[in-house]
Structure 1
Amino acid sequence: MSFVGKVLVVVQVVLSVCFMGFAGAVYTAQSNWRAKSQKLQDNVANLQKSMNELESEYSNYKVESDQKIKDALSREQTAKVANDALQAQFKTNQSQLETVRAERDSAVAQAETTGEEAKFRQQESGRQRVVNKTLHDTVNTLRGKIKNLEDTVFTQSIREKNLIAKHNTVLDELKYLNKIVANLGIDPKDPAIAGMQSPPPAVEGLIINTKKDKRNGTKFVEVSLGSDDGLSKGHKLFVYRFGTKENGNRPKYLGKIELVYVDPDKAVGTVIDAAKNGVIEKGDHVNSKL
């Protein structure tokens, strides 16, 4: 083996030893790092556990502290309400005391004037006796009037019974007459018959037109009232004209008409009674009651 080969072998051996030392150092460092890492992780876990326990204790302490603060505030509010109630009661008692003092003063003043009032009461009692006598006489008078009114009511009740009996009799007669009219072939509901049987309702209207038949001299008037106002054929209306200042504003009677034709909003009638000193004209008034 040459010198170079020996040198290379020595170098190789040295390098091998160095690499072995380096590998041992690396292994040792790696083992120490893992142990430290595990230890640090254990420390972190312990610290986290301790922190969690501390946080739990802090949370519990905070809840207890908040509850204590709330209880203290509630007690403070209750005490404040009680204090206000006591102050209000004190004011009330003080006001009642003032009232009692005022009543006492008033009672003293009233006691001082009792003697004078007694005299006035004696005089007043004399006047009251006179008033009572007058009232007694008035009561007796009113009792007499009440007795008379009771007698009048009794008499009126008897009259009412008699009128009811007459009314029932008239109704029976009306039914009987309706049967007779029906047997004669006449319709009781005919407008002319209805107008003859029942009086017209209380209405008031105007003459809107007049016309005279030249053949027979009958005078027709048209009025502003009709069946919608409750009128029917055969009803009679009065005609009048408002007065003037010369006659004292008194209405003037012009005559009476009988309806011969009725529409819903107007009707035509003939003059059956004309006044001697007046002529029925357009604009005159008609009324069912004179």
Structure 2
Amino acid sequence: MSFVGKVLVVVQVVLSVCFMGFAGAVFTAQTNWRNESLKLKDNVASLQKSMNELESEYSNYKTDKTKEVNDAKSQAELAKAANEALTAKIKEKQNDLDTVSAERDTSVAQAETTGEEAKFRRQESDRQRVVNKTLHNTINDLRAKIKSLEDTIFTQSIREKSLVAKHNKVLDELNYLNKIVANLGIDPSDPAIAGMQTPPPAVEGLIINTKKDKRNGTKFVEVSLGSDDGLSKGHQLYVYRFGNKENGNRPKYLGKIELVYVDPDKAVGTVIDAAKNGVIEKGDHVNSKL
């Protein structure tokens, strides 16, 4: 056998071995592919089933969520309508609040004004009450004075009636005495007679000097009153001295004088009645009434 034949045989053997290996590999690969194919078919079937289940769940989920979305949209629309209604109501309430605030401010201003007026009226009332109380007290005092004056007037009217009666009686007696004096030939215009007939007016003066006649012991006093004061010869005056704190400021009676000489602004009288415990001195008082 030639070398070429040997080489071809070797090549044939090598190729046979290669083809055997290749066939074994193909067979092994075919067997593995079939198993993998069956496994993949099972996986595809399982996945298809899972996908169907997922599609069913997704459909249910989509239906539920679509329903929820629709419900949410309906609720949103209702909420929007309610919100718009609430917004309008809030705006209306805000307008009402603004109106009420304005009315409140007006009421507060009126209340403050009313309070000030009430305070002023209360103060005015208090002042008027004080004035009324003062007027009431004044009225009561005036009523008391009026009552006292009415009593005084009543007493004075009684005295006046008594004095009128006495005056009429004295006039009758004076007329009677004038007739007697005229029958005796005495002039009634003689100052001595006039002083004896007419009582001295209500006067008050001072002793301005005293003097005693050593021959007959007669004591003469000069007084600060005269004919200008309504005095005449024959009028009699009372002499007294103001007291001191020891005897309670009571006046002390010193005696009585009878005027024997009368000037317009002064007169001289003699002491006709002297108190036992008093001496008439300069500065003592004279009065026509005790």
TM-score normalised by length of structure 2: 0.42
